[in-house]
Amino acid sequence: MGKEPLAEADITAHLAALPGWERDGHGITRTFGIRYHGGVALIVHVADIERLIGHHADIDLRWDHVRFRITTHDVGHRLTEADFVLAARIDQIAAAHEARPTEA
């Protein structure tokens, strides 16, 4: 999984392939609607995958939603291929937990 900073054109192409994820400076974000305890289960599932792939998101849990923000910390908080791989995995896990994608 590549951890070299991506060029802007590559970032744009990756975002186009991941509907719902939005650019947030040098990161990408997405929010899913899910009740608190369901959000905890979602986060644990995501954390298990993150541990296996060696990459993690910043996660914000609220009573009715979970927000993920992804950037590659060890290359100066820049976007890399690893960020988009993790985003795709989060989408799959969120769907399995019946989390509802929200509009920004």
> By the 8 A CB rule, do 75 and 4 touch?
yes
Structural domains in the chain, CATH included, are: 8-101 (3.30.1360.20)
pLDDT of 104 strictly over 60: no
What pLDDT was estimated at residue 82? 96
Average pLDDT over residues 40-57: 97
Q: Which residues pair with 22 in a beta bridge?
A: 29
Q: Which among 47, 35, 38, 33 is positioned nearest to 90, based on CA atoms?
A: 47
Is 78 a residue whose pLDDT tops 90? yes
- Taking the CB of residue 15, how many other CB atoms lie within 10 A of it? 17
Q: What is the pLDDT of residue 103?
A: 73
Average pLDDT over the chain, rounded to whole? 95
pLDDT band at 3 (very low <50, low <70, confident <90, very high): confident
Which residues are bridge partners to 68 per DSSP?
30, 59
Alpha helices (H) in 34-80, listed in sequence order: 36-53
Instruction: Please compute the mean of the pLDDT values over residues 48-71 and round it to a whole number.
Output: 97
Average pLDDT over residues 40-67: 97
